Structures are given as structure tokens and as C-alpha cells.
Structure 1
């Protein structure tokens, strides 16, 4: 739990959380934007690169279920510090392994990179939900907008460094230093978490963190988040490729459609909190999933690039708010927030692990643009289960 915070402390905590989300996005994009360089440096195939990426996913999936317990023991600030330092150390390991051309060293470093990212992701969302709860207004989408904005900046930096010939190992070493500094300094402005008071003799023990996996509402929220994550992830992974393959667009045009998707999502995350406060999570979640479904359909069925662009924008706008709303819903009860956010994050991350290859395999049969229609199933599932995200304090 946290002590009562003053208004200046809440503002400082909100700013620190915003920065931590942004750095997280910067780290993600700094790696993802230069994946082609990894295949070139290590001289590996696309399939072997997929195996390396699986190392990150496995590390995250191992860390996510335990992250709530870690936060409960040492607090969000210390968890972010530990996770950030682990990510920085893993980044150094990746850089040195790439410089030596060592595939095994890169794989091991990516595994620990995934563990650090998983711990970081859960702890920042718990802190964000705590700040949101105490501010009394919806701010979680803005934190996730910071992640999107950080990723956008990271991608631009990666593209720029690649263009001027700066190697990936040097790039990662600088990013590791930035992450280590941010992880050590920024969390000191988080809300202060204090240990729970000792239980009187004979009082029943609090439920174990594992009980969150048996909580029906938490699992339903997790399914909603899984659908939202797959919706967002499919756009990130396949919009550019689908535009090139299905609309005969150039690679630069495909990249622009991806940029439209990301910018629409980021803008709605920045300004969508007010709509959630006015209309409630359930109504906004349903509207979001409906917009995502319409945008997806328009993108896939459009006969020209202009309609496809409009579809990409609507798709991104619809995908923007569901994940942060799911995190807020999971953290409605502060007493169980750490465990429940950990569960919902774990369920949602399954989409990152399973979604891209499944769509890729389906795309081999039908074409990737047509294969994207499969995302309509989890979108409709999230739409139908939106009521699970209803606030415990209202709509």
C-alpha cells in the first residue's frame, strides 16, 4: 500500500511514471528498429532471428507471473530499479555478443532482457494505476501514450544512426547507460510504498498472489486485454507488409500507413482519458473495439490506398485505450493490484508470443492482408466481455 500523498508528490510521481513509460518504449524500439542489423551481423536467417526473438518472449513470460509478488515485497520503485539495471546489463551483453558475432551470447542476453522488460512492464503499470487512483482521474492512457511516443523516438533514432553508419553495438551501449541512469534516479519520485501492518494473532491470512489466477473478473479482464493486445500487435507487425503485398504500395508508403496507425493510437491515448472519466470504461471500451473492427475491415477491404489509410487510422484509434483501461481495471482494488496486474499482463503478453507467427502462417495460405481479418475474432470477444472492466467504484 502507499501512504497519503500531497498534491506536489502526486504530480512528481505522475511525471516520473510518464518518463519511465517513455524510456521503456525507447528501449523497445531501439532494439526492434534495428533487428535487420542483427541478422546481418550474426549472418542468420529469418527463422533463426525468430528463435532469438522467442528468447525475449520466454524471458518476459517467466517474469510476468512473478512480478506482482516482487512488487509486493520490494515496492514499485525498487522493482523498476532492479528491472532497469537488468535491462541495461542485458543490453551490454547483447552489444558485446554482437560485436563478437556470438549467437549463443546474444540469445542468453535477450532472455535476461525479456525478464527485465517483463518486471519493468508490470511495476510501471502498478505505479501508474496507483497514481491514477489517488489523482481521482483517468491518466493511465497518457502513460501508455508516453510508451508509444518513446517507441516512436527510439525508432527515429535507430533509423538515423543506421543511416549514418553507427553500429548497433555502440547504439545499445549508449541506450544501456541511459536506462541505468533513468532506473536509478527516476523512481525516487514514485509514491512511497510502506509495508502492511502486522496481522493480529489469529487473524486470517490475506489471499496468496496465486489466488488472482482464480479470480473470475481478473481472468475476464485478461481476455479483454489479450484481444486488445493482439489487435494492437497485429497492426504493429503487419500493416506495412499488408499494404505492400495487398495494395501494391511501395515500402515507404507501407511505412507511412504504419506511422498513421501509431500516431492515431498515440493521440487517442493522450486525449482519451477525459472520455473515460465522462462515459466510463465499459462504454469507451465497447466504442474502442467497434472502431478497431471497422478500421480493420476498411483497411483489409479497401480498394485504394486512401481508404486503407483511413482504415489504419481508425484501427489505431480503436486499439489505443483498451490495454491501459485493462490495467486500470485490474488495479481497482489497491490491496490486490500487484497480483492482478501481473495476471492480466501475463495473459495479454500471450498475444505477443502467439499472434505474429499465427498470422504469418495464415498469411502464407491467404495473403497477409486477408489473414488480418482473423483479428476480428478477438476484437469481437473483447467487445462482448467489455463489462468485466467496469470500475469497482462506478461505471
Structure 2
């Protein structure tokens, strides 16, 4: 059975978790870079492919909603191991599907990889909070910087495989094997800090257990933090999916320039995630979040109303800087009470997953009427809502309950 390394330290766990986040970025973006090849092999139009992705995402959302209870029952080590194996199997099937020209096999792969990815997602986010608490300083943004770096590497891997005419099936199966092996190796060598107790058994009746596991969804502060997470993931998802489209369609720039513009957004996020931890320690969570949201508002407005590609790139950079720390701050805020962190972090992760699911189609629907550039301004509504609840990410005043239900004032 896999167990945490007995000699692990918070610093070792931090480095291994950064690597785990980077692997997730590589896996996700290496296959996304081959989407045109996948669509061609499966004979799918853009709307049909979007429908396949939508169906596949349902398994991910359902799993991540239930992940708080799964964490409490099985622990981080087992859940991470299960997620690793399931995700690798799904990625491999996603490669087999195009090789066989089978939409059904590919869809099954999307569903299975999404379930595994959801288990991994909540495991690593919870572990990031435990490592931050063990070190006594802000480090959660470093993990998300690892993901951003992995995203860049994954895009390069996908582009390289495409230029070398490597079949999608070969690439996906290789990525599945390598990512699975590296994740399990990280788990064996100290990724998870020892010492987190599983939840005590409660009344055996199913409805009592269900109520306990879903209680975080009724807490006012948790849901306000989850709103921040939703907006952060929605903002990042819109940029990832629509920036390149906008630069091509609205500014008549070639695809290579559009790709560089997306690189500016990801690069700005990565830079601040690497160096922004001290900003959070200096200003506190709420003030840092407020500055981040204001930067996102100004940057997005500048992009959305720009009349030239140069001005749009400036707005894109400011938007990326603003988006960098919002989700990491939400994850940290959800874990202020360690004994209840699993359920609360799973709520935050769930809202992030749901936001990623709805971002592309929602903006796509508006873009049909307004164009990609102006449709992305819808994110401003969410950013302003997040700004309204931003004070809630600071630790609550001593003596006040963290689990205030929504029905109370």
C-alpha cells in the first residue's frame, strides 16, 4: 500500500507538489495542443467536439463535488493514487479513440480522465494548504506557478509532436504512462505530509453521512470564498479559450501573434505566482485580492475596448497579473480551520471546475452576437462581485465561528 514517506519534510513536499502541479499542466495542455488533430481523426465539427467535451466534463464536476467526503474516508494518499491511475487510463483512451476513429472511446477517455483529474485536483489543493501551514508562510501561489510552467511545456510538447507528425495515440499514451509514473514516484518519496487524521465515523445512516459531508455547501463564508474561486477560474478559462480567437478575428493578427498574446497572459500569471507570495504576506489576503481584482478589471476593460492589437496586449498583461493570485488566495482561505479543510477546499475546487466548464460555451454564445473581444467583457461582472466579498478571504476574527450557515445573518 502507498504511504507517505516517513522522513518527508515540508520543504521536500513543497518541491514535489510543485512538480505534481507542473505535471497536471503538461498533461492538460499537451493534449489541448492536438485538438485539431483529434477533431480531424474523429470527423467532428467544432460544435460536435464541444458537446463531447461538455459530456465528458460532467464526470469531473460530479466527482469533485463528492471529493470532500472521499478525502475524509480514504485520505490524501489513497485518493491521489486512485486519481493518478484513473487519469492515466483516461488519457490513454483519449489517444486510442482517434486512432480507432471512435468517438465513443474518446468520450469514455474524457469522462475517465476527468474523474481522475478531479480526485487529483482536490488532493493537491488540500495538500498545498497543509504545506503552507507547516511552513508558516505563503507558498500556495508557487504550486499554481508550477501548473502555469507545465502548461507552457505541455503546449510545446503538443506543438512539437504535431510538427514531427507523431500520432495522437502515441503521444497521449506516452504522456499517460510518464505522468502516472512520475506522480506515483512523487507520492512515494514524500509528496504528502503525514499526520492528517481521517474523519471519525458518524451515525451509519446514509442521510446523516451525506449531510455531514455536504455541510460546507451551507456555510456563508465558504460560499463567498467559493464565489472568488469561481470568478478566478472563469476569468482564466475565458482568457485561455478566447484570447487567441480574438486576436485573429478582431485584430486580424496571424495565429502565431495570437499565440504570443496568450503567452503574455500566461507569462504574467506565472511571474506573479512565483514572486507574489511575499505580497500576500505583506498586505494580507484581502488587500492582495482586491488589488488583483482591480488589476483584472482595468486590464480586461483595456483589452475589451482596445482599438489596436498593441493596446490589447498591454491589457492582456495587466489582466494576467490580476488573475495570478485570486484562486490561490481562495484555496488558502478555505483551509483556515484544518479539521474542516477537506470539505471546504473541495467546495472551492468544485466551483473552479464548474467555472472552467461553463466559461468557453458562455462566452462563445455571446461572441456570436458581439464578437470575441467584446463578449469577454462579461467577466467584469464576476470580478466586481468577487470584489464585494473579498474581505471574507482574511482569517475570521478570533472567537467567531468559521462555519456560519447561510440561513444566519
> If the length of structure 2 is used for normalisation, what is the TM-score?
0.91
Following superposition of structure 1 onto structure 2, how do residues 339-350 of structure 1 map, counting pairs within 5 Å? Answer: 339-350=343-354
CA distance 1:161–1:108, change in 2 (3 Å) = same
The separation in 1 between residues aligned to 2:234 and 2:68, in whole angstroms, is 23
Q: Give the C-alpha shift of residue 281 in structure 1.
A: 0.5
Which residue number corresponds to residue 407 of structure 2? none
Q: Give the C-alpha shift of residue 197 in structure 1.
A: 8.8
Deviation digits for residues 103-143 of structure 1 (CA, Å, limit 9, x no counterpart): 11111121111111111111100001000011010000010
CA distance 1:157–1:335, change in 2 (3 Å) = same
Contact kept? 2:56, 2:108, Cα under 8 Å:
no
Q: Does 1:302 align with 2:303?
A: no
Q: Give the C-alpha shift of residue 284 in structure 1.
A: 0.4
Deviation digits for residues 178-201 of structure 1 (CA, Å, limit 9, x no counterpart): 12212321113020145359699x
Gaps of 5+ in 1: none
The separation in 1 between residues aligned to 2:388 and 2:334, in whole angstroms, is 18
Q: Does 1:191 align with 2:184?
A: no
Which residue number corresponds to residue 60 of structure 2? 60
Q: Does 1:124 align with 2:124?
A: yes
SS in 2 for 1:244: helix
Which residue number corresponds to residue 362 of structure 2? 358
Which residue number corresponds to residue 388 of structure 1? 392
Which residue number corresponds to residue 19 of structure 2? 19
Deviation digits for residues 238-275 of structure 1 (CA, Å, limit 9, x no counterpart): 11111122222221111111110010011111111100
The separation in 2 between residues aligned to 1:31 and 1:164, in whole angstroms, is 15
Deviation digits for residues 300-352 of structure 1 (CA, Å, limit 9, x no counterpart): 22222221111100000000100011011111111011100111111222211
Which residue number corresponds to residue 145 of structure 1? 145
Q: Give the C-alpha shift of residue 393 in structure 1.
A: 7.5
Contact kept? 2:75, 2:198, Cα under 8 Å:
no
Q: Give the C-alpha shift of residue 166 in structure 1.
A: 0.5
Between 1:180-189 and 1:80-89, the stretch displaced more is: 180-189
Which residue number corresponds to residue 43 of structure 1? 43
CA distance 1:38–1:122, change in 2 (3 Å) = same
CA distance 1:86–1:323, change in 2 (3 Å) = same
Q: Does 1:99 align with 2:99?
A: yes
SS in 2 for 1:165: coil
Which residue number corresponds to residue 218 of structure 1? 222
Deviation digits for residues 192-235 of structure 1 (CA, Å, limit 9, x no counterpart): 145359699xxxx9981211011111011111111111111111
SS in 1 for 2:161: helix
The separation in 2 between residues aligned to 1:143 and 1:197, in whole angstroms, is 26
Which residue number corresponds to residue 320 of structure 1? 324
Which residue number corresponds to residue 293 of structure 1? 297
Contact kept? 1:92, 1:176, Cα under 8 Å:
yes
Which residue number corresponds to residue 159 of structure 2? 159
The separation in 1 between residues aligned to 2:220 and 2:397, in whole angstroms, is 18
Deviation digits for residues 84-119 of structure 1 (CA, Å, limit 9, x no counterpart): 110111122222222111111111121111111111
Q: CA RMSD in A?
A: 2.1
The separation in 1 between residues aligned to 2:198 and 2:80, in whole angstroms, is 20
Contact kept? 2:300, 2:315, Cα under 8 Å:
yes
CA distance 1:279–1:108, change in 2 (3 Å) = same
Following superposition of structure 1 onto structure 2, how do residues 239-254 of structure 1 map, counting pairs within 5 Å? Answer: 239-254=243-258
Between 1:21-30 and 1:384-393, the stretch displaced more is: 384-393
Contact kept? 2:8, 2:193, Cα under 8 Å:
no
The separation in 2 between residues aligned to 1:6 and 1:40, in whole angstroms, is 49
Which residue number corresponds to residue 235 of structure 1? 239
Contact kept? 1:126, 1:341, Cα under 8 Å:
yes
Which residue number corresponds to residue 275 of structure 1? 279
The separation in 2 between residues aligned to 1:197 and 1:358, in whole angstroms, is 38
Contact kept? 1:138, 1:273, Cα under 8 Å:
yes
Between 1:189-198 and 1:286-295, the stretch displaced more is: 189-198
Which residue number corresponds to residue 81 of structure 1? 81
Which residue number corresponds to residue 374 of structure 1? 378
The separation in 2 between residues aligned to 1:94 and 1:358, in whole angstroms, is 25
Which residue number corresponds to residue 70 of structure 1? 70
Between 1:287-296 and 1:87-96, the stretch displaced more is: 87-96
SS in 1 for 2:193: coil
